[in-house]
A and B are shown apart, each in its own frame.
Chain A
Amino acid sequence: MPTRALTIATLAAALVFPLVAAPLGWEYYLGFASRIMIYAIAASSLNLILGYGGMVSFGHAAFLGAGAYAVGILMAEGVASAWIAWPVAIVLAALFALVIGAISLRTRGVYFIMITLAFAQMMYYVFISMKEYGGDDGLNLPTRSVVGLGLDLKSDATFYYLALASLVATLYGLNRLVHARFGRVIEAIRENETRMEAVGFSTYRYKLVCFVIAGAVCGFAGALLANQGNFVSPRLLDWAQSGSLMIMVILGGIGHLYGGAIGAVVLLALEEVLSSYTIYWQLPVGMILLAIVLFAPQGLAGAFARTRRS
């Protein structure tokens, strides 16, 4: 099975990367790769609701921000332990997702897109107005979260492996979830909600649980992101951030297991490469994006699957 071989090869390369990075002087790319993997987790969580659930949320960055700020604020108050801060980040993001989802899922289509955007904007402005935690300028974290167990996250290689393990766990969990009964129900609701309701499923409740799971996972990604850059700011919740998470999912392949991850790699690598050539890098990014949306609506994973099939 070539897909499995490709997966194993990618994973092996990812495992070996830190070992060769130091001798080759690629330390910078260790941090960059960690950031990509964290965004891959966030994008995969969006893929769960967007791709599998068909819920077009334009406010997913809210959960990224909630997780990141939970870590940031706890650390500013002197709580550096990962065992406290990360669960708090996940639970907080899940709670936000529960409230936002409970209200937003009452609406359909365009209204859902807009109300999720509105909630993310609300949180954006709330964090901007929290002057004691940096306000508009953001909050610098003095250190990374403390895990104990002989692991020091201040080492970029250790942090890289943590991000990699988290990404693998996320993708494994996502795979299990969408192939379980729950995932089947969610996909069926995406295809025909009225019918599922008629068959006797409480579609609202399924969608809400799905939304909360995605929020919690994205909150964890936010907690990692705060650690990776030692910095949290309201920019994390900006609507452009929600937009780029959506771009990652579409770019990679909506409703494909690896869609979010592929999209995160491609988009962030594209930004990195283009911004080293020109300060106007958003222009080519926009054009490439437009071309993909117009000519490869299934994303890169979809295009790949299509060429293999034909």
Chain B
Amino acid sequence: MSWILILEQTLNGLQFGLMLFLLAAGLTLVFGIMDMINLAHGSLYMVGAYLMAACVQATGSFVWGLVLAVAGTALIGMALEVALLRRLYQRDHLTQVLATFALILIANELVRLVFGSQPVLLNTPAALSGPVDLLPGLSYSSYRLLIIAVGMAVAVLLYVLVAKTRTGMLVRAGASNREMATAMGVNIRTLFTIVFGVGAALCAIAGAMLGPILAVQVGMGENILILAFVVIVIGGIGSIRGALVGSLLVGIVDTIGRTLLPVLFREFLPPAYASNLGPAVASILIYVLMAAVLFWKPQGLFPARG
């Protein structure tokens, strides 16, 4: 076990955590402001990745593909909000879970109808396909570095948007006390649509950036959606800061756990147990983390409502 490996895995964890943050940020805002559980958030991530694949194919450019995919997904998200999700805000959580579960089924089948059930190929841009030397002995994929850079840039942008602008102020007001914000004359309806569009755009960025390293396939949204929910529950629902801390925690714990735990177990346990137990414990590690956080802090690490 070398330090180089741990450093490399930490970078992988950071990269995964930042992409999780893009999903979790949208989810936590929708959840916190509109008090709405949106299981279909993962479907927007899937739609983003598929649009990216289609747009890169059509334009031949990674950057244009990204721009078009993000804009397209944001439009789809806003249309969905206006046409359907708006009706669900006043309903109970159970209804929201079921309605958006139905949306997942519909979205998966529509994507399968349009793109087929085989995974779609999405390549890294040629300029970024090789590794770069970060330290002597540590060469790291340049595309993953780009993901980290994009993730950080979006996180900073989102922070400025939420903490420094007037729209962001309204968003924060809505998250901490919806009734009061409405009473003070905030147009909650338009705000909701905008927030939903931003959330969809963030999903699309994550889907588009992760597309080349994970498979672009039907059902890709579901697994990452559950992770995003784990993140916002750990961080505290409605809190962007909590989403960031939770994402990095989950990303790094998950990635490092998968590498380190099997090695650790092999040190201390007979090999027959270790080969089974290592992966098992590694894959439930983040759920244990979440259960532990909820046990001691039932409102998450950074509760948005005081």
Stretch in contact with the other chain, from A68-76, A112-120, A169-177, A202-210: A112-120
Q: Is the CB of B284 within 8 A of A122?
A: yes
Q: Is the CB of A58 within 8 A of B105?
A: no
Stretch in contact with the other chain, from B70-78, B96-104, B144-152, B172-180: B96-104
Q: Is the CB of A115 within 8 A of B291?
A: yes
Residues of A within 8 A of B98 (CB): 246-247, 250, 289, 293
A294 within 8 A of B: yes
Stretch in contact with the other chain, from A6-14, A89-97, A123-131, A189-197: A123-131
Question: For the complex, what is the distance from the CA of A303 to the CA of B284, rounded to whole Å?
Answer: 41
Residues of B within 8 A of A122 (CB): 284, 287-288
Q: A56-B94, A106-B295, A115-B291 are in contact. Are A283 and B284 (CB under 8 A)?
A: no
Closest to A106 in B: B298
Q: Is the CB of A126 within 8 A of B105?
A: no
Binary A-proximity of B89-133 (CB < 8 A = 1, otherwise 0): 001011101110111111011101100000000000000000000
Q: Is the CB of A118 within 8 A of B298?
A: no
Q: Is the CB of A286 within 8 A of B103?
A: yes
A297 within 8 A of B: yes
Question: For the complex, what is the distance from the CA of A128 to the CA of B281, rounded to whole Å?
Answer: 11
Closest to B106 in A: A286
Residues of B within 8 A of A247 (CB): 98, 101
Q: Is the CB of A126 within 8 A of B284?
A: yes
Q: Is the CB of A297 within 8 A of B101?
A: no
Question: For the complex, what is the distance from the CA of A119 to the CA of B81, rounded to whole Å?
Answer: 31
Closest to A126 in B: B280
Least Cβ–Cβ distance between B43 and chain A, in angstroms: 11
Closest to A291 in B: B102
Q: A280-B113, A287-B106, A290-B102 are in contact. Are A110 and B37 (CB under 8 A)?
A: yes
Q: A107-B298, A293-B98 are in contact. Are A283 and B91 (CB under 8 A)?
A: no
Partner of A129, one of B95, B280, B295: B280
B237 within 8 A of A: yes
Q: Is the CB of A118 within 8 A of B110?
A: no
A239 within 8 A of B: yes
Partner of A118, one of B95, B106, B237, B290: B290
Residues of B within 8 A of A56 (CB): 93-94, 97
Partner of A286, one of B109, B112, B299: B109
Partner of A121, one of B105, B287, B298: B287
Q: A107-B298, A119-B287, A126-B280 are in contact. Are A286 and B105 (CB under 8 A)?
A: yes
Partner of A293, one of B95, B104, B294: B95
Provide 6 A-B residue pairs closer than 8 Å at the C-beta atoms, listed in order of the A residue.
A115-B294, A119-B287, A129-B276, A282-B106, A282-B108, A294-B99
B contact residues vs A (CB 8 Å cutoff): 31, 37, 87, 91, 93-95, 97-99, 101-106, 108-110, 112-113, 222, 226, 229-230, 233, 237, 275-277, 279-280, 283-284, 287-288, 290-291, 294-295, 298-300
A contact residues vs B (CB 8 Å cutoff): 50, 56, 58, 103, 106-111, 113-115, 117-119, 121-122, 125-126, 128-132, 239-240, 243, 246-247, 250, 254, 280, 282-283, 285-287, 289-290, 293-294, 297
A130-B276, A280-B109, A286-B106 provided; 16 other pairs, C-beta below 8 A? A110-B31, A110-B37, A110-B93, A111-B294, A113-B97, A115-B290, A119-B287, A126-B280, A126-B284, A130-B280, A282-B105, A283-B113, A286-B102, A289-B105, A293-B95, A297-B91
Query: A-B pairs with the 6 shortest C-beta distances?
Result: A286-B105, A129-B280, A283-B109, A286-B106, A289-B102, A125-B283
